[in-house]
Amino acid sequence: MPKVLLLVVLFVSLNGLAQTFTFSFQRASLAKVFAQIEQRSDYRFLYSEEVLALGSPVSFTVNNTPLDSILRLCFFQQPLGYTIEGKHIIVKKRIIEKPTPLTRELRGKVVDMQNEPLAGITITIKQTGMATATDAYGEFVFMNLPVKTTLVVTGGEIIPQEVDASQNSYQLIVVEQRMSVLDETMVIAYGKTSRRLSTGTVSSVKREEISKQPVSNIMSVLAGRVPGLSVFQNSGAPGTGFDIQLRGINSIANGTDPLIVIDGIPYPSQTLTGAIGGGAGTSASPLNTLNPADVESIEILKDADATAIYGSRGANGVILITTIKGKAGKTSVTANLYQGYGQITRKMKLLGTTDYLRMRREAYSNDGTIPTNANAPDLLVWDTTRQTDWQDVLLGNTMHSTDAKVNLSGGSALTQFLFGLGYHKETTVYPGRFGENRKTANLNVSHASTDKRFQFSVSTTFADYGTTLPQQDLVSFITLSPNAPKLYNDDGTLNWQNGTWINPLGRTKAIISTTTTNLISSLSASYKLLPSLSIKISGGYNRLENNDHSINPKSASNPLGNPVSTAQFGRKTITTLIGEPQVEYQFLRNKNTFSILAGTTFQQNSQYFLYQRGTGYASDELLNSLRSASQVTTISEGDILYKYVGLFSRIKINLENKYLITATLRRDGSSRYGEENRFSNFGSIGAAWIFSNEKWFSNWKFLSFGKLKGSAGITGNDQIGDYKYLDLYSPYTYSYLGSTVFYPEQLYNPVYGWEKVRKLEASLEFGVWDNRLLGTVNYYHNTTTNQLVNYPLPSMTGFTSIVKNIPAVIRNTGIELELQGQLIKNKYISWSSSFNLTIPRNKLVSFQNLSSSSYANRYVIGEPLNIVKKYKWTGVNPATGNHQFEDFNRDGQITVSGDQQQIVFTGQRFFGGMQHNISYGRWELSLLLAFARTPSASNHLYVFSRPGLVMNQPVSVMNRWQKPGDITDVQRFANTSGGSNTAFSIYRQSDAAYSDASFIRLKNAVISYSVLATKKEHRFLSQCQLFLKANNLFTISRYSGVDPETLSIFMPPIRLVTAGFQVTFK
Amino acid sequence: MKYTIAFISMLVLSVSCKKFVAIEAPSTQLVAATVFTNDQTAIAAQLAIYARMEGDGLAYQQQTYNGLSGDEFMNYSTGVATTDLASNNLTAENTIVLGFWSNYYKYIYQANAILESLEKSYLLSESVKKQLTGESKFVRAFCYYYLCSLFGDVPIVQSTDYRVNSQLPRNSVAEVIAFIENDLVTAIPLLSTNYLDANNAITAERVRPNKSAAQALLARVYILLNQWEKAENTATEVINGNYQLVTNPDLVFLKNSAEAIWQFQSVVPGYNSYPGAQLILTTTPTVAALDTNFIKAFAATDKRKLQWTKSITVAGKTYYYPFKYKVRQNASSITEYSMVMRLSEQYLLRAEARLKQNKLSEAHQDINHIRTRAGLVSLAGLSGSALMDSINKERRFELFAEFGDRWLNLKRTNTADLIMPVSKGANWSSTDALYPIPQSEINRNNQLTQNPGY
């Protein structure tokens, strides 16, 4: 489109070219200079603004200088020329007659649409490969440029563009920032892509999302954010693990953990907790050593297309964790600090002393027995006027969380670095000094040669992590009688009340301390042999060292029981070494791009562990030393080697940005299989059609993006344990006749084969209203065959299981829906939201001879794998007051074999999350809601036994049956064994022990305020933000028990509120 | 050209891959084939059975749980498994019952694995091969003896092939007894008369079964089979061996006592014998104490009451416990081992066998050996059922709290229905004499049937 020509035609001056002028200009634009000249003479300049814009500002001082000399100064080294016709000076582009000298200088500046300078943008000279990056003012400079110069402008958040700068010495570049998440970089296996061009199903969680949650474990961040991924915290105690499932249970027996890869290194996904157990009654998360603040992004790879390149390890999906890297630009220091306080999210309503004593007395009167000191200390020995809320005492304290992180980063266009230090400390809600702490350091350096053909990056993270926790989760003590004795005697010692109770504080002396150090070091180096051919080697080293130390001092138990002190010591070291040489060939034909990747993986994991028990300690003070034990027993020792090799290749074809095809092939070998079945092939094919790039599509105004994609492929699962094909003898814990003795450790099966998952996927992605609303609908259909199970055997075979393939087929299907949109965006307010929903279905499709197999009582064909078979509770018999049950086989009695027929589904019907980010001026608010529909999960009956015993109960038990004819759900109170006892033990094994654990939880809420309005405002600060961040602020649930997420088994999650700030020094 | 190079290098890689993933056995374990190439490790595999028997607390479990099922012990545990056991109200889910079943079959697997490996091995010395074959066959017989005593019909597992073993049906008691007899008869000539150590050298430690142990068990089997003459002769061989009754009852249960035919060496840190560590009371019992009726049944002067039982009084209540083993836990040295088989049982067996053959005076002699040691007057002039009653009575007082002898004997002599209701009242029914086949076993092997009453 032609621009408007501004013609300036005015009267001719009489004085002519001989007229002299006195001027002084500093970096003045030509337009300004010309205007001054026009003011003082009759000469008029004729030019188009377009042409004049090519000119650079000029600086000169002249005294009584004639106009022709001034004009020469103005046009010196400008890409412009002029001719004088009468009183008109006509400005034109200079026609180059001779080549400009080879050595020229180019300066320039990169700004965004709002004219704000952009730092850290990479400018590459296409002809030479020379590159630089813009500084804090968005400016850049090149020396020694060739004649023909094309600038390639790239950067993380901008749409790349090319600018011809052959004629200029100063270049202003206006770039468009990426508006659409469709084009954000997404890390995938051995490469990168964007959501727009991906043929696989990948979800991505970025740093800005991760940083919103004040948590110490990265897995917490994923809950509610990623469709298809269910993340449940096992316990509210720090450092405990997560139950993670990506797209359902694919395997009957083997691990369902997704493969976790940190910067290219496969990371152990199983707990480090070993033979002496973990803290708070559960096991530790392997990712405790990873500081969430060091994570740049997490990509969750789901379908065959995205995971098949991981071959035998991709069956359960892959979680790729990428750590933060240095960025080019001014050196800056960012510090982030927060401090928070928390309490448990939920408590149960339990009986007070009055109702409790009424229950107990009624139980004796129902039984017709008289309470004795031995069976009713609560009625006869203890003070019946005491009332303690044990949930308050044992789980009701306030925990503290402190976190600090400092990053130093910067670098030039070719070399960038980042160095960070982190600290985290968290206490617990238990009484006593428990908690976790973590110190981390990370360093990343990336370098490229000036021609950018050679690139090199190395990242190293070191973490030192420790927890101190009681061995037992005190949640199991919430059933203590409300009038249970006082905790301490007057002299400050623990009160055991003559052995009539177990003092819960005793359990806080049985402690397990764990220290874990972790070194992750990864490197990648690549070299472009040709513009289209590059070779790369990536590799890494990971060493995890875990030390457990648990003590059971005498003082933890009632002295009347003559307890002895013991201590246990454990050490586990896992070392992973991986090397992956790769070749990539890329070429363009017309508008189509082709890329071929081929590579190999060599991986070696070695694991050593040793767990020992010391007994015969002279004093509790010596329990920290193994040497002080008079006897040392080795509980277990292992030295495991796992080697893994893979050959992989991937072909990607992009036809006119409309048709995308990816094909993957992998051949894997694993030392976990016997010689005959050591190798297997895996592969996938994926295709996508971006129909919004078709010509006919331009008529569809409101739909701005549309893509259909599908994939199919085979991946495998090798989480089966090591050496299962060998007939191994292990040394027994104890020696005999002075000799170490060996026993057969396992039944072995030399011929088991690989378990394979066939994955199918179809999905639709769309964007409407200029991609302000983006949506994805995925349908997946995964089938696992050749199930490799720890097949349960009758123990008459000498063992209880064998690793073996069985002809069972499991199908996981599901629908995942994801919507994200910019609801409001104007000068004042920005409101974006996202929503995701997963509806998973799991089914045991077939199982040859299930009824005669050892799984007969575990699974039902046509039902999901996550079921239990239980008695069916039919209510309380109005005549007897005892629970009654469905007699399925009509034999007149309730038996284990005949009547545990009620199928109870313990999984989720659907789950998902919703997120809102609202910014108003300098304020920002962010909310994350997570929800899950779990129709039946283990309820309070997991810890609460029969009402009437020396044990507190939920308040609802007061609706008990009292006399014949009463209609109620609560059995009569009873104390002695007999009909009520039997009925209640069946009740606990019935469907009544499962109840709705659906919930909606405000997982995360953040309010932040930016002290600085713009980056420029302050001399040395570029950012200063104050924030309040909170987790688990509220939960809506009807769950009958402690918490719908951790159930009644472990400590509920923590409601944590933190306050802090983040500053960046420039 | 460069593609060709890339292709060739890939090929080379794929060949080296095979080697890469071929790994050695873990350094902390041994492959079966290696174990049986060397006398020392082969013996170590055999000793592992005995170490595990003691480490599992077999002697303790057998005496305590059978004692609770019978009339020797009173229950003080609140655990469901123990309570149900003591009230003869067992269910097929009982974990203690499953423990007996799975432990014995675990030892049987070990024995079978050793027998199979010995057959294949060409590198072991003949003497080791002979001795280990004998010991493994003895172990197998020993386990089946207790399995069929506790459960009745049980499957005979005689290989390590899980595909066969997981689908085996129960064999009749008669078949099992025949199998035991055959194993023992085969084992006796193979076994050494002496006690051997971890290098197969002669030792004073009586913790590996020898020929006499196999004969002692065989004598029991002949009694079961009513083959009185064989029973007498076999018991005589044991009695005439290197054993003698220890005069002072306090010294009978010491390690390597002259009366011991087979003991388990102490393995658990802090323990002498497993039963001593668990059952000597220092406060209110939490599992079991001796039944007061049993204490009352002793003659006042019986040394076995005075020296083999003891009491503790807590809060005005007196609890009795077996005091055959004197050492509880954390003693400075090891002086006692868990007793598995001892000489006085052989006297009692022989007395019974002689009575059945109407060799009354010899029978009297045998029983009076035991009575004399207990400080009781000798019996004379008894016959028929009166003498049988005396033998059974003596057995009750002599072998209480020893590997469930009382419980097994009540059933062997068909007197359970007569005697059990006295202590258990209406809780007792005839079908309680056999434990249920564990439900998990039936679930996993549909060839198994349940015992009546469960």
Q: What is the pLDDT of residues B133-164, one digit of tens each?
A: 999 999 999 999 999 999 999 999 999 999 89
Residues of B within 8 A of A647 (CB-CB) are: 10, 13-14, 17
User: What digits encode the pLDDT tens for the residues A895-915?
Assistant: 877 888 999 999 999 999 999
The two tokens of residue B80 are 């469901």
From the list B6, B160, B446, which residue is nearest A583 (CB)?
Answer: B6
CATH of the domain at B394: 1.25.40.390
Task: Using the CB atoms, write b or e for A781-807: b if 16+ within 10 Å.
Answer: ebbbbbbbbbbbbbbbbbbbbbbbbbe
From A45-59, A262-276, B42-56, the region with the lowest mean pLDDT: A45-59
Q: How far is CA A780 from CA A228, A301, A313, A712, A836, in A?
A: 10, 13, 19, 10, 15
Residues of B within 8 A of A537 (CB-CB) are: none
From the list B20, B166, B267, which residue is nearest A643 (CB)?
Answer: B20
What is the nearest CA distance from B58 to chain A, expressed in angstroms? Answer: 15
User: What digits encode the pLDDT tens for the residues B58-81?
Assistant: 999 999 999 999 999 999 987 888
- CB contact at 8 A, B180 and B144: yes
User: What digits encode the pLDDT tens for the residues A829-863?
Assistant: 999 999 999 999 999 999 887 877 778 888 999 99
Q: Is residue B303 part of a domain?
A: no
Q: Exposed, middle or buried by CB within 10 Å (0-12, 13-18, 19+), for A405?
A: buried
Strands A88-93 and A44-46: parallel
Q: Is the pLDDT of residue B274 over 80?
A: yes
Residues of A within 8 A of B333 (CB-CB) are: none
From the list B18, B52, B160, which residue is nearest A732 (CB)?
Answer: B52
Collapsing DSSP states into helix, strand and coil, what is residue B122?
A: coil
Tokens 């109702």 sit at which residue?
A355
The two tokens of residue A5 are 């020509």
From the list A560, A737, A857, which residue is nearest B265 (CB)?
Answer: A737
| 3-state helix vs strand vs coil in chain A, percent to 5 | 15, 50, 40
pLDDT at residue A103, rounded to an integer: 63
Q: Is the pLDDT of residue A28 over 90?
A: no
User: What strands, in cross-sheet order, belong to the sheet with A150-154?
Assistant: A131-133, A122-125, A150-154, A161-164
pLDDT class of A1 with cuts at 50, 70, 90: very low
Contact A796 B157 (CB under 8 A): yes
What is the nearest CA distance from A643 to chain B, expressed in angstroms? Answer: 5
Total structural domains within chain B: 1
A967 vs A374, residue with greater confidence: A967
Distance CA A942, CA A133 (A): 61
Contact A736 B48 (CB under 8 A): yes
pLDDT at residue A98, rounded to an integer: 52
Q: At what angle do helices B211-224 and B343-356 cross, to 10 degrees?
A: 40
From the list B28, B40, B106, which residue is nearest A637 (CB)?
Answer: B28
Q: Virtual CA dihedral for B49, B51, B57, B62, nearest 10 degrees? A: 40
Nearest CA in chain B to A976: B78
Structure pTM?
Answer: 0.77
Q: Exposed, middle or buried by CB within 10 Å (0-12, 13-18, 19+), for A111?
A: middle
Residues of B within 8 A of A669 (CB-CB) are: 17-18, 20-21
Q: Is residue B441 part of a domain?
A: no
User: What digits encode the pLDDT tens for the residues A660-716?
Assistant: 999 999 999 989 888 888 888 999 999 999 998 888 877 777 788 899 999 999 988
Scanning B21-124, the segments in alpha helix (DSSP H) are 32-35, 39-55, 58-69, 80-86, 95-120
pLDDT at residue A893, rounded to an integer: 85
**C-alpha count within 13 angstroms, C-beta hemisphere, residue A627:** 0
What is the nearest CA distance from B248 to chain A, expressed in angstroms? Answer: 27
Strands A265-267 and A259-262: antiparallel
Q: Which of A93, A89, A94 is nearest to A17 (CA)?
A: A89
User: What digits encode the pLDDT tens for the residues B199-221?
Assistant: 999 999 999 999 999 999 999 99
pLDDT class of A790 with cuts at 50, 70, 90: confident
From the list A529, A600, A747, which residue is nearest B162 (CB)?
Answer: A747
Share of chain B above pLDDT 90, in %: 80
Q: Is residue B18 part of a domain?
A: no
Contact B444 A792 (CB under 8 A): yes
What is the nearest CA distance from A799 to chain B, expressed in angstroms? Answer: 7
Chain B interface test: which of A630, A797, A853, A854 (most B C-beta within 10 Å): A797
Q: Is residue B99 part of a domain?
A: yes
Quick one: average pLDDT of A535-559?
A: 92
Share of chain A above pLDDT 70, in %: 96
pLDDT at residue A97, rounded to an integer: 53
From A168-172, A988-992, B289-293, B420-424, the region with the lowest mean pLDDT: A168-172
What is the nearest CA distance from B26 to chain A, expressed in angstroms? Answer: 6
The two tokens of residue B199 are 């290098």
From the list B21, B47, B98, which residue is nearest A670 (CB)?
Answer: B21
Q: Is the pLDDT of residue B269 over 90?
A: no
Q: Over chain A, what is the mean pLDDT? A: 88
Chain B interface test: which of A373, A601, A729 (most B C-beta within 10 Å): A729
Q: Is the pLDDT of residue A15 over 50?
A: no
pLDDT at residue B1, rounded to an integer: 54
From the list A643, A645, A795, which residue is nearest B441 (CB)?
Answer: A795
- CB contact at 8 A, A836 and A817: yes
Distance CA A116, CA A102 (A): 32
Supply the range of the domain harboring residue B337. Answer: 34-278+331-423
User: What digits encode the pLDDT tens for the residues A711-730?
Assistant: 999 988 877 788 888 888 99
Residues of A within 8 A of B117 (CB-CB) are: none
Determine the residue type at B344: S
User: What digits encode the pLDDT tens for the residues B332-354?
Assistant: 899 999 999 999 999 999 999 99
Contact A733 B55 (CB under 8 A): yes
Q: Is residue B293 part of a domain?
A: no
pLDDT at residue B308, rounded to an integer: 97
Collapsing DSSP states into helix, strand and coil, what is residue A162?
A: strand
Q: Is residue B300 part of a domain?
A: no
What is the nearest CA distance from B394 to chain A, expressed in angstroms? Answer: 34
Q: Is the pLDDT of residue A389 over 80?
A: yes
From the list A602, A632, A732, which residue is nearest B20 (CB)?
Answer: A602
Distance CA A37, CA A241 (A): 77
Q: Which of A1064, A816, A1037, A1032 is nearest to A341 (CA)?
A: A1032
Which domains does chain A show, CATH number per domain? 16-93 (3.55.50.30), 106-174 (2.60.40.1120), 181-323 (2.170.130.10)
A555 vs B259, residue with greater confidence: B259
What is the nearest CA distance from B152 to chain A, expressed in angstroms? Answer: 15
Backbone region of residue B132 per phi and psi (left: phi > 0; alpha: psi in -120 to 50; beta: other values): alpha
Contact B23 A641 (CB under 8 A): yes
Residues of B within 8 A of A722 (CB-CB) are: 26
Distance CA A1002, CA A926 (A): 11
- CB contact at 8 A, B180 and B207: no
Number of H helices, E strands in chain B: 20, 7
Q: Is residue B42 part of a domain?
A: yes
Distance CA A568, CA A552 (A): 8
Q: Residue A767: in which H helix or E strand, if any?
A: strand A755-768
Chain B interface test: which of A796, A849, A982, A985 (most B C-beta within 10 Å): A796
Q: Virtual CA dihedral for B39, B40, B45, B46, nearest 10 degrees? A: 70
- CB contact at 8 A, A155 and A123: no
Strands A923-933 and A999-1010: antiparallel
The CB-based long-range contact list for A168-172 (8 Å cut-off, 24+ gap) reads A168/A54, A168/A56, A168/A79, A168/A106, A169/A56, A169/A77, A169/A79, A169/A104, A169/A105, A169/A106, A169/A107, A170/A56, A170/A57, A170/A106, A170/A107, A170/A108, A171/A106, A171/A107, A171/A108, A171/A109, A172/A108, A172/A109, A172/A111
Chain A, chain B: beta-carbon pairs less than 8 Å apart: 224
pLDDT class of A61 with cuts at 50, 70, 90: confident
pLDDT at residue B40, rounded to an integer: 93
Q: Exposed, middle or buried by CB within 10 Å (0-12, 13-18, 19+), for A432?
A: middle
Q: Is residue B312 part of a domain?
A: no
Q: Is the pLDDT of residue A1058 over 50?
A: yes
Q: Residue B409: in which H helix or E strand, if any?
A: helix B405-412
pLDDT at residue A91, rounded to an integer: 84
* A465, β-bridge pairs: A438, A516
- CB contact at 8 A, B17 and A669: yes
Residues of A within 8 A of B198 (CB-CB) are: 736-739
Chain A interface test: which of B8, B15, B29 (most A C-beta within 10 Å): B29
Distance CA A142, CA B133 (A): 88
Cα end-to-end distance, chain A, whole Å: 42
Collapsing DSSP states into helix, strand and coil, what is residue A427?
A: strand
